[in-house]
Amino acid sequence: MMEPMAEPWVLVDGAVEVSADAVAEALRARIADGKLESLLESPSGRTLFVVSNTERAMVMLLEYPGDPGEHAADPGAEDWSDGFVLSNGQADEYPDADTVPLDEALRIVRHILATGRPPADAAWVVDR
């Protein structure tokens, strides 16, 4: 399998291309506006899904449609958090082990947009 490379990413809601340097600000603005779910897509068909409850976020990376994907993790976290509201109105609850603090989520997303892969020091779970 080839190593992923940096490629352009589009914030699907609004079809706006977003750079690695601007993605954290764009996602924070969406969260402040109550849009807790964000979907980014690349021309190669990769999808980056971020849903937040304003304090934590689930970050999932899918390589192709139907891919079980991979996600950021917080090993050792034992609680659950709720308030992850999807664009269809569904409110989800996730184990904290499957989400990360918002600042860490934004760091991970920025790195994926810049390099094509999660940071080496981020806890990451492959669900394939």
Average pLDDT over residues 73-94: 95
Mean pLDDT rounded to a whole number for the chain? 93
Q: What are the CA-CA distances from residue 59 to residues 1, 69, 119 (Å)?
A: 22, 10, 13
Q: What are phi and psi of 38, to 5 degrees?
A: -135, 140
| Residue 82 maps to a domain | yes
Q: Is the pLDDT of residue 16 over 90?
A: no
Q: Is residue 99 part of a domain?
A: yes
In a domain, 92, yes or no: yes
Instruction: Please state, in angstroms and rounded to a whole number, the distance separating the CA atoms of residues 78 and 117.
Output: 26
Q: 18-63, pLDDT tens digit by residue?
A: 999 999 999 999 999 999 999 999 999 999 999 999 999 999 999 9
- The string of DSSP codes covering 15-59 is TEEE-HHHHHHHHHHHHHTT--EEEEE-TTS-EEEEEE-SSEEEE
Provide the number of structural domains found in the chain: 1
Quick check: 13 pLDDT over 90? no
Whose tokens are 């020091």? That residue is 121
- Count CA within 13 A, CB hemisphere, residue 74: 21
Which has the closest alpha carbon to 50: 104, 109, 96? 109
The whole domain housing 22 covers 9-126
What is the arithmetic mean of pLDDT over 113-124? Answer: 96
Asked whether residue 67 is domain-assigned, the answer is yes
